[in-house]
Structure 1
Amino acid sequence: MYQAVIFDLDGTLLNTIGDLAQAGNYTLAQMGLPGHPVEAYKYMVGNGIPMLLHRMLPETARTEENEQRAAQLFFPYYDQHKEDTTAPYDGIVPLLDRLRGAGVKLGVVSNKEDHLTRQVIGQYFPGVFDDVRGHVLGTPTKPDPHLVHEMRAAFGLEPGQVLYAGDSNVDMFTARNAGLDGCGVLWGFRTAQELKEAGARYLVAAPSELEALVLGRPAQKER
């Protein structure tokens, strides 16, 4: 049994891709640039919004000036529209309730900006998580493990007692860099192949499978 689970946010707890894509395409339209299908944004997110802005710009437009302009457009729009279509994935709320009921500590570490991460968690999961941390300007993003190290230490637990759950290779690299077991979730933005290649110890197809894994019931490894 794991005594704590640290979750990624986007693509793991919440399906945020619609609102991120809408903000991205709004930004591009304001700059006179072509937008992208929602599916394309699934492969642009994961390393923080500044990297999302870089990736969504056409290669010929990836200048410092354009990225700054994109940030000026994106952040206010996304802040106003970040809850238009965003919602927890099916089964996530019951999962969190049951884990808390079993005494498991719960945390979130995201590459989303810290104030946005806390706002979103406060909106959708008030009072649920023991610790929430997002990216702070001037510090490295995941897969750097510093936020995970800090959270695990705050929980007073050893690496083997903590599971890290996420939907992308960034998350699996983060888990490895932090010395934690990594669990790839298959309901998010990326593929099972990507998660396996990034070193996921476990893959789960539904929140109920993650619950079984954390609480020490039989769980499939390496699907």
Structure 2
Amino acid sequence: MKFKGVIFDLDGTLVNSLEDIADAMNSVLQGRNYPTHDYDAYQYFIGSGLRNLVSKSLPETHNDEKHIDHCYQLMIEEYRDNCTNKTKPYDGIIELLDHLISHNIKLSVFSNKSDELTKKITTALFPNYFNPIVGLSIESLKKPNPSEAIEISKSLGLKTEELIFVGDSGIDMQTAANANMFAVGVSWGYRPEEELTANGAKYILNHPLDLIKVLQAEGVKILT
């Protein structure tokens, strides 16, 4: 198979955004005198959209839908203004992207973060690397629903089987399988390797440039 494009998850795959997300949510919790959480706890809250993260962060005594909606809006307001304070690309990501572009590999981002914030962070940290950049606009389209990934393949002018989907969670691997794309997991994100392999990862990357080796192993003529 000659892969011609790569779709990347954002949080935990391209960027380490955990501290900015955690800081924003903890600010909301502190403002309401609720218990806060450490960064390790937020690793398991991230991945299914920020509204879901808000629900997991709130105390059980204040976890009704109306309260979640209100705190979600507060969290988004806080995070929108501070989403690139500490967030940065993982070591080796920019080098990988430059290498892929130089070999005419098409690049896209698909995240369960809101579409607005996905575009804001991606364009701020990776100008001119990705098109399209797709975040969550409708809750029902959230990964592992493959609909948006399939639409990305159409936008890129590629068949789904010509795309690698790279992510750090089981949800990402499920999305790849559901969209008939090649699932590749990363070990530096927010989920354990066991979760990735259990959900269908074909390869696990220990460094971003390992993706070059995957492409070569799968028959893509790409120079190191």
TM-score interval w.r.t. the shorter chain? over 0.9
Structure 1 vs Structure 2 CA RMSD: 1.3
Between the aligned partners of 1:12 and 1:138, the Cα distance in structure 2 is: 21
Between the aligned partners of 1:28 and 1:137, the Cα distance in structure 2 is: 26
**1:108-152 superposed Cα distances (whole Å, 9 cap, x missing partner):** 000111111111111000011121111103542000011100001
Between the aligned partners of 1:216 and 1:130, the Cα distance in structure 2 is: 26
- Contact 1:175 1:181 (8 Å CA) reproduced: yes
- In structure 1, what is the equivalent of residue 163 of structure 2? 162
Q: Would the alpha carbon gap of residues 2 and 78 (structure 1) be closer, same or farther in structure 2, given more than 3 Å must change?
A: same
TM alignment of 1:48-197, pairs within 5 A:
48-197=49-198
**What TM-score results when the alignment is normalised by the length of structure 2?**
0.94
Could you say what secondary structure the match of 1:207 adopts? Answer: coil
One-letter amino acid of the counterpart of residue 11, structure 1: G
Between the aligned partners of 1:205 and 1:23, the Cα distance in structure 2 is: 29
- Contact 2:141 2:148 (8 Å CA) reproduced: no
**1:55-83 superposed Cα distances (whole Å, 9 cap, x missing partner):** 11122221122212211210111011111
**1:16-64 superposed Cα distances (whole Å, 9 cap, x missing partner):** 0000000111111112100001011010110111111111112222112
- Contact 1:165 1:171 (8 Å CA) reproduced: yes
- In structure 2, what is the equivalent of residue 5 of structure 1? 6
Between the aligned partners of 2:76 and 2:158, the Cα distance in structure 1 is: 36
- Contact 2:164 2:181 (8 Å CA) reproduced: yes
Between the aligned partners of 1:193 and 1:101, the Cα distance in structure 2 is: 33
**What TM-score results when the alignment is normalised by the length of structure 1?**
0.94
Q: Would the alpha carbon gap of residues 37 and 138 (structure 1) be closer, same or farther in structure 2, given more than 3 Å must change?
A: closer
| Structure 1 runs not aligned, ≥5 long | 219-223
Between the aligned partners of 2:198 and 2:53, the Cα distance in structure 1 is: 22
Between the aligned partners of 2:92 and 2:98, the Cα distance in structure 1 is: 10
Between the aligned partners of 2:69 and 2:142, the Cα distance in structure 1 is: 19
Between the aligned partners of 1:94 and 1:212, the Cα distance in structure 2 is: 14
Q: Would you say 1:203 and 2:169 are equivalent positions?
A: no
Between the aligned partners of 1:211 and 1:26, the Cα distance in structure 2 is: 40
One-letter amino acid of the counterpart of residue 202, structure 1: Y
Deviates more, 1:15-24 or 1:53-62: 53-62
**Matched-pair identity in %:** 37
Q: Would the alpha carbon gap of residues 138 and 37 (structure 1) be closer, same or farther in structure 2, given more than 3 Å must change?
A: closer
